[in-house]
Structure formats: structure tokens, C-alpha cells
Amino acid sequence: MKSYEYLAEVLPDGHLSMPENLKKMLKPDSRVRVMLMLEDEEAQWNQMAASQFLKGYADKDAAYDNL
């Protein structure tokens, strides 16, 4: 099985958008497997907070790591 990844938009009628080049590769009766991965705002916030926290970490702070 081949896989292709792209960002889709949910259209007003509830369908997902698909790039034209990918549409051309499919026959009208093709069967595909779809996996939805939704953006998780809380996870993004936690990741950003952790990365910002670590930006303030300096090599001299390593003295406190083993206390």
C-alpha cells in the first residue's frame, strides 16, 4: 500500500479537499484508507511552553541537575 500525506480542508458539504494530482491517480471506484489527525491546541501549547522554558536553560544550570 502506498501512502500520501497532505493537508486537507473540510468543505462546506462535509467532504475533504484533495489535491488535483492525487485525484488524477484514483479511479472513480477506488478504495482508500483515510486517517484523520486533528490539531490538538493544548498539545501545541504544552510543546511551545516546554521549548520556551528550555531556551532559558544554560550550561551553568547543569550544576543543579544532580542535587
Tens of each residue's pLDDT in the chain, 67 residues? 889 999 999 999 999 999 999 999 999 899 999 888 877 777 777 777 877 777 777 777 777 777 7
- Phi and psi angles of residue 16, each rounded to the nearest 5 degrees, phi first: -100, 145
Q: What pLDDT shows up at residue 21? A: 93
* The model scores a pTM over 0.75: no
Q: What pLDDT shows up at residue 47? A: 79
Non-local (6+) Cβ contacts of 9 within 8 A are 16, 17
Write the DSSP symbol of residue 26: S
Q: What pLDDT shows up at residue 44? A: 74
